[in-house]
Structure 1
Amino acid sequence: MRAQLTRRALLSLVLRLLFLKPVATGNCLRDDQELLKQLQHQADFMQDTRMLLDHYIRIQGLDVPGLKERCQERPGVFPSEDALQALSRRSFLQTLNAKLSHVLQSLTAFLQDLPSQDLSTAKMYILGVKSNIHCLAQLLPDSTETAEPTQAGLGASRPPTTTSDTFQRKIEGCEFLRGYHRFMHSVGQVFHKWRKNPSKSPRHSSHQALQKGAHGMQPFTRGKGLLPRGQLPR
């Protein structure tokens, strides 16, 4: 009963954060600091291993000595915090959006044994973050702040290929979730840094940056219609 209450409270908190200020397509918040606050709160919650990893370890029978220790992040799947911090703001949002799309595909591949409620909650939460990314991207000037990092530094974007071996597949899922939660911790650190430096926030970027010309994502134009929720311009 206590476990059920804890899970119910966890779901309630997820939904409160996700729908703190619902962002409808074409009705984005114009306050970059409020968007950053929401994104940091979302990232902070998604790093919590109780959201997915702990349930997965228990359900798959990996919560025993000798097996739990094998549940470590596989290098190269998710970018490191240093790689994320080195990105320009626009490139960071592009990378985060792409990685979350990768996670959505991977959840289906790895988490078939988790309760459908856990999967639905995780997917809803990811879509909420992607929606806020879409809105924050509209406030960014077209800037070339830093060079693009190498693909190796950002990690692979391909959906995972799972083995037919049942035990190895369990370990791969555990490794993936460990990396996902660590990645969201790193994402939260980046947003925390952005909030601590409001003078460099999207809305307050320098006039010089605004004059550097378009690069990467093209700005949204009112006459071309609205993009789907959570989708960054190509």
Structure 2
Amino acid sequence: MRAQLPRRVLLSLVLRLLFLKPVVTGSCSGDDQELLKQLQRQTDFMQDTSRLLDPYMHAQGLDVPGLKEHCQEHPGVFPRENALHGLSRRGFLQTLNAKLGHVLHRLTILQQDLPKVQLTVKRYIYGIRNNIYCLAQLLPGSSETAEPTQAGTEDSPPPPPASDTFQRKLQGCQFLRGYHRFMHSVGQVFHKWRESPSRSRRHSPHRALRKGAYRMQPSMRGKRLMPRGQLPQ
């Protein structure tokens, strides 16, 4: 039994990772509800501070009283939840895609200050962006993913890295704090989308084709059959 216990624990961890593992192959599902479900799971996973912020603070010695109180989100780096809810679906996906690209760039800069956990985080971000691309294809009038844009006038780039070592650590901490809060806000938006009727289903190209074909079928009501060979007057 002692030999089997680690195997069961390992199997449980593997299954959990497979359950949460984002799509990274580039293939897309045509089910918008399934994509939303995956995106909400991924954002729920990424809003957990144990994924990035907590390991960073521990590695940088910031998780002590008197220092961790200074690790607060820098205003304007990430959009607030009310601004995200005010965006159209396309605008929201473009903004999320742009912000995740910025996070990937920042993680590359912080890779010397972060443990190996950031590699897992990057894979999740790539998976989220792939699901964003797939969901964008189901929006009405979508032919290809538009270039990402910023959200709202409050959205501004982070301050340049400080030359002072402590300030640089603090900026990294503030950025990661804002990222986790941002992913929580993103999850709230996806949750609302799942509760509301899917516009992408109502505007499905296949449904439109079937509807158009039905309209094109001539109605036989009130039409008089003519003898063979007789032309209409």
**Higher alpha-carbon Rg:** 2
Alignment TM-score, normalising by the size of structure 1: 0.74
Residues 140, 204 of structure 2: 8 Å contact kept:
no
Residue of structure 1 in register with 2:231 after alignment: none
Structure 2 gap segments, 5+ residues each:
1-8, 143-148, 209-233
Deviation at 1:34, TM superposition (A): 0.1
Residues 95, 151 of structure 2: 8 Å contact kept:
no
Query: In 1, Cα distance between the equivalents of 2:13 and 2:75?
Result: 30
Return the letter of the residue paired with 2:191: H
Query: In 1, Cα distance between the equivalents of 2:150 and 2:159?
Result: 22
Query: In 1, Cα distance between the equivalents of 2:113 and 2:48?
Result: 20
What value does the CA root-mean-square deviation take over the aligned residues? 2.8
Query: In 2, Cα distance between the equivalents of 1:65 and 1:104?
Result: 30
Residues 24, 126 of structure 2: 8 Å contact kept:
no
Alignment TM-score, normalising by the size of structure 2: 0.74
Structure 1 gap segments, 5+ residues each:
1-5, 211-234
Q: Secondary structure at the match of 2:38?
A: helix
Kindly provide the CA deviation profile for residues 95-151 of structure 1, in whole angstroms up to 9, marking residues without a partner as x: 000000000001122342212x212111100000000000000000139xxxx9964
Question: Aligned match of 1:17 in 20, 23, 30?
Answer: 20
Query: In 2, Cα distance between the equivalents of 1:64 and 1:196?
Result: 41
**Which residues in structure 2 correspond to 1:23-102 (within 5 Å)?**
24-25=25-26, 27-102=27-102
Return the letter of the residue paired with 2:120: T
Residues 78, 180 of structure 1: 8 Å contact kept:
yes
Query: In 1, Cα distance between the equivalents of 2:102 and 2:138?
Result: 25
Relative to structure 1, is the Cα distance of residues 129 and 75 closer, same or farther in structure 2, using a 3 angstrom cutoff?
Answer: same
Residue of structure 1 in register with 2:162 after alignment: 163
What fraction of aligned residue pairs are identical, expressed as a percent?
Answer: 61
Relative to structure 1, is the Cα distance of residues 112 and 36 closer, same or farther in structure 2, using a 3 angstrom cutoff?
Answer: same
Query: In 2, Cα distance between the equivalents of 1:28 and 1:185?
Result: 24
Query: In 2, Cα distance between the equivalents of 1:187 and 1:10?
Result: 26
Q: Secondary structure at the match of 1:24?
A: coil
Relative to structure 1, is the Cα distance of residues 105 and 9 closer, same or farther in structure 2, using a 3 angstrom cutoff?
Answer: farther
Q: Secondary structure at the match of 2:29?
A: coil
Deviation at 1:10, TM superposition (A): 7.3
Query: In 2, Cα distance between the equivalents of 1:202 and 1:32?
Result: 7
Number of aligned residue pairs: give it: 191
Residue of structure 2 in register with 1:196 after alignment: 195
Query: In 1, Cα distance between the equivalents of 2:75 and 2:57?
Result: 20
Query: In 1, Cα distance between the equivalents of 2:51 and 2:30?
Result: 30
Query: In 2, Cα distance between the equivalents of 1:11 and 1:186?
Result: 28
Query: In 1, Cα distance between the equivalents of 2:177 and 2:14?
Result: 20
Residue of structure 2 in register with 1:225 after alignment: none
